[in-house]
Chain A
Amino acid sequence: MAFRDGPFENLKVPLVWTAVGAVVIGIVAAVLLLLSDRRDGASPYGAVRNGGDAAAGPVGGILAAPVRFVGSVSDAIGGYFFAVEENRRLKAEIKELQPWRDQAIALKNVNARYEAMLGIRTEPAVPLARARSISDARGPFARARLIDAGSAAGIAVGHPVINEHGLVGRVIGTSGNVSRVLLVTDVASRIPVLVDRTDARAMLTGDGSGNPRLEFVRGFGSVQSGDRILTSGDGGGLPRGLPVGVVARGIDRSWRVKLFSDRAAIDYVSVMKFQDFSLLVPPEVLSAPPLAGLPDAPPPASGSTAVAGAAR
C-alpha cells in the first residue's frame, strides 16, 4: 500500500479546519481581552503584568550588565584622554554658575520670607528611591521601561520618575523588586505642564515619537520656540516645577517638546514617592486664612508697654 493511501490520506482537510477553528477561537479571545484590559494601574490583569515584569526584570538586568560594562570602559578611556579639556570646560562652567548660585541663595531667602508673610503652605519634601533602568522594553505603540526597584522600596503606581536632567515618566506597575515606567513619549501618556515664561497651561501628549506634542495651549502667543516646559502640578498627580524640556516646532508644524531626559541615556533614575499635597494636609488647615501661617507675635514686655504709654 502506498503511503498516500494510508491513514494519513484524509489528514489535510481536518487539519485546515482545525487550524481555522483555532484561529477563530484565538481571535475571539484576543478581542475579549482587548475590550476588558486597560494600560494604566486599573487593569484587571495587573497581577499577570506584574508577574511578567518580575520575570523579565532579572533577565533584562543580566543583558544590561555587559552594556553597562562596555559603557563604563568607554567612559573611563574617554575621561583619561580628554581630562584636560574636561577640566577646562568645568572651570568655565563653575565661573559662569557662581553668580547664579549667589542669586539663588538670595532669592531663596526672600522667597522664604514671602512664604512666611503670606502663610503659604509649601509642599513637603518628597522622598526619593534610586533605581536603575534594566530593560528598554519598547515596542511598536509602547514606550516603557523596567527599573530594578519595586514595592519593596515603597514605590507605588503613579509615582513620577526623573533622571538628573528631567522628567522621564511615571510608574504604572510594581512588583516586589521591579517597576514598570510609562515614558512621557508613550501614546497613553498625558502630563499637565506649564510654560515657564508665561505660566500658560498645556497638556504634554505622547505619540510614540521622541518629542511629545504640546496640546491645549491656553492663550494667544503664550508659547514660542525655546520656552522651558515644567510640570504644572495640576490634578495632583505630579509635583509642580519638574523640568520637562524645551519647546520646538515639529515638522507637522505642531508644538513639540525636546525632552531634557533625552540629553543622556536613561540609566539611573529617581522615583519620587509623591503624594498629592492636598491629600496629606487636613482640609481645615488648607482652608485657614492666609495669615495663619505667621507666628503669633510675642506679648510685649511690661517695660516697653510703660514707655509706650508715657510717650502717648
Chain B
Amino acid sequence: MKRNVAVRVVGPMGWIVLPALSCVVATILLATPVKLFGLHLPELVFPMVLAFAWPLIRPSMLAPAVLFALGIFLDIFWAGRLGLWPLVLLGVYGVVLAGRPLLIGQETPVLFVWYASATTVALTVAYAIVGIGAGNAPSVLTFLGWLVPTLLLFPLADRMVERFDDGDVRYR
C-alpha cells in the first residue's frame, strides 16, 4: 500500500525572495531621520545575514544574483561607490560556500565564529577600498560602530539556517 508522505518543499520565494525583501525594508526603515536619546539609529548591514545563511542552506545560482542586486541597492541607497557592497556580500557568500562541507551540521558557536570572521574580513576589505578610493582612512572607532551591530545580527542568520536547512527533501 502506498503511504502518503508530507513533503515540504521550500521554493526560492520562501528562502531567497522574501528574506531579501525583508532586508530592503529593514534598511529603508533604519534610514528614517530620527534620533533616540541623541543617537542615530544603528547602521546595520542586513544582507550580511543572507550572504552567510544562503550558502549553508543550499547552493543556488539565484542567491548570488539576488545578493548582487541587494549590493547594488545598498550602494545606491547609501550613496557609496557602485560595486562595493556586491563585492563584499559575494565575497562572504563565496567563502562560506567554499567552507560549506565543514560547516554543515556544526554547532551554533562554530557558526558564529565563521560569521564573525567572514563579516570582519569583509568589512575590513570594504574599509580598505573606501579608504583608498577617498584617499582618507575612515575613523576606526566609527568602523567598530558599524561592525559590532552587524555581528549582533548573527541570531537571524542562525535562525534562517535552522528554519530552511534541509527544508526541501530533494537536497537531503
Chain A interfacial positions (CB closer than 8 Å to B): 3-4, 8, 11-12, 15-16, 18-24, 26-27, 29-35, 37-39, 43, 45, 48-49, 52-53, 56, 59-60, 63-64, 67, 133-142, 144-145, 172-173, 180, 182, 187-188, 205-209, 251, 265-267
Contact = CB atoms under 8 A, between A and B. Distances in A.
B33 A133 contact: yes
B68 interface: yes
Nearest to B100: A16
Contacts of B73: 52
B79 A60 contact: no
B33 to A, nearest CB: 4
A163 B83 CA distance: 32
A38 B71 CA distance: 16
Contacts of A24: 94
A58 B91 CA distance: 33
Contacts of B123: 140
Contact of B86 (A8, A26, A48, A187): A26
B16 interface: no
Q: What is the interface of chain B mostly: helix, strand, loop, or mixed?
A: helix
B116 interface: no
> In the complex, which of the residues A60, A63, A207 has the most CB atoms of chain B within 10 Å of its own CB atom?
A207
Nearest to A267: B33
Given A67-B34, A187-B138, A266-B33, A19 B64 contact: yes
Contacts of A4: 172
Contact of A137 (B31, B59, B141): B31
Given A34-B82, A53-B76, 10 more contacts: A12-B59, A15-B61, A63-B32, A137-B79, A138-B78, A140-B43, A140-B78, A142-B78, A142-B80, A205-B136
Nearest to A4: B172
Contacts, number: 185
A12 B171 contact: yes
Contacts of A29: 68, 83, 86
> In the complex, which of the residues A34, A67, A144 has the most CB atoms of chain B within 10 Å of its own CB atom?
A34
Contact of A27 (B27, B32, B91, B170): B91
B56 to A, nearest CB: 12
B33 A265 contact: yes
A141 B80 contact: yes
A35 B87 CA distance: 12
Given A22-B64, A56-B77, A141 B34 contact: no
Interface string B115-157: 0000000010011011101101111011100100000000000
Given A16-B59, A26-B90, A27-B94, A188 B64 contact: no
B169 interface: yes
